[in-house]
Structures are given as C-alpha cells and as structure tokens.
Copies of this chain bind each other. A is one copy, B any other.
Amino acid sequence: MTKPVEPKTVTPSVPDRLLAEATRLFAERGFERTSVQELVEAAGVTKGAMYHYFTSKDDLLYAVYERVLTMQMARLAEIAGNGGSVADRLHEAAADVVMTTVENLDDTLIFFRSLHMLSPGRQSEVRKERRRYHELFRSLIEEGVREGAFQDGVPADIVVNQYFGAVHHLGMWYRAEGELSGAQVGAYYADLLLASLRTP
C-alpha cells in the first residue's frame, strides 16, 4: 500500500531484488560465505546501487530479520485476538507459526543461524522483539492455565521455549519436496503441544 505502483510490475525494485537474493544466498551458503559481489551479481545490480539502498551487508541481513519479525508478530497478534476457546486459539497460533515458518524457510534458517553476525545493537533489538512475541504466546498458555484448561506442572516459559525451539529447527530438516505439507506439520506440532498441556 505504501509503495507507488511500479511502471514495470514484472521487475521488482532494486531493494526488493537485493533482499530476495540475499535471503536465498544467506540461507544457501551462509552470511559469511556470501560476498557482496556475488549478491549484487545475483540481483543484477551494481555494488554502488546496493550501497545506495543499504548501508552495509549487515544492514541487508537485518532487513531479513525485520521482515520475519514483523510478519510473525502480526499473525500471532491477529490470532490471539480472535474469539474461540483458549485451546483453539493456541492451537491455531501454534499451527500457524509452523506454516509461516516453512513458507519462509530461508528466512527462518537465517534467523537462528546468523543472529550472531548482526551488530550487538541489532542483536538486542531482535531479541527484544522476539521476547515480545514469546510473551504474547506465553500469555495464551497462562490464560489456559488460569482457566483450568491446561495443566500447570511445567512453567509456561519452559513450554514456550521448548515449542519455539522445535519450530526454529524446522529449517534444519523440513523440506518442501518431502511428503508433509507445512499445514500437516503445523497440525501435528500443535496437537503435540496441546496434548502436552492437557490436564491429566
């Protein structure tokens, strides 16, 4: 909505092309193994152009993080705000984060593999935003515990960390070409989460 209509809708803008290629290359061979030269060649732009839109290679990496953080936060906020039982909302949110993760597998792979490559300041920003995300998720669990829908034998923090640990690792084994769709894996993961929270 913010962007003006492009004259050539087929060719994405220079920064978009850079971001898309950066995501692909950083996931494929890692941030450090991707040179700015390769990146701009893949995106079909010149170095000067890249440095016109991004202040550094690090900046390009950070842009990947921003996109993921913004998107995931928006989706969780929407789902958490829906009606329905807390179990339903938690299930939906848990399944949804798996789906968006596998749909953006490159981004999520980069997310955890390359966090330490960001500048310390930006690492903090990412962690802070991530914490907000976890807290929203945790609040759903706590709501269920208060309502008596979920058991409270295990601290909600632990549950959240365990669940997102599993989600973040999808990039290490999930393959789009495999048998399972993102939706299927999402359903299974959410089922396991809910089962683990069921009152005995």
Checking B32, B153, B165 against A166 with a beta-carbon cut-off of 8 angstroms, the contacting residue is B165
Of listed A30, A33, A193, residue having the most chain B CB within 10 A: A30
A185 CB within 8 Å of chain B: yes
Per the CB 8 Å criterion, the residue count for chain A at the interface is 40
Question: Copy number in this complex?
Answer: 4
Q: Is the CB of A30 within 8 A of B185?
A: no
Chain B residues near A151: list those with CB within 8 A. Answer: 195
| CB closest chain-B residue, reference A112 | B172
Binding site for B on A (CB under 8 A): 29-33, 112-113, 115-117, 151, 153-155, 158-159, 161-170, 172-173, 180, 185, 188-189, 191-193, 195-198, 200
* A158 and B32 alpha carbons, distance in the complex (Å): 31
| CB closest chain-B residue, reference A134 | B173
* A29 and B28 alpha carbons, distance in the complex (Å): 21
> 29 interchain pairs (CB within 8 A)?
A29-B116, A31-B32, A32-B32, A112-B113, A112-B169, A112-B172, A115-B172, A151-B195, A153-B195, A154-B191, A155-B188, A158-B188, A158-B189, A161-B166, A161-B173, A162-B166, A162-B188, A162-B192, A165-B165, A165-B167, A165-B170, A166-B169, A168-B169, A168-B172, A169-B169, A195-B196, A195-B197, A195-B200, A198-B198
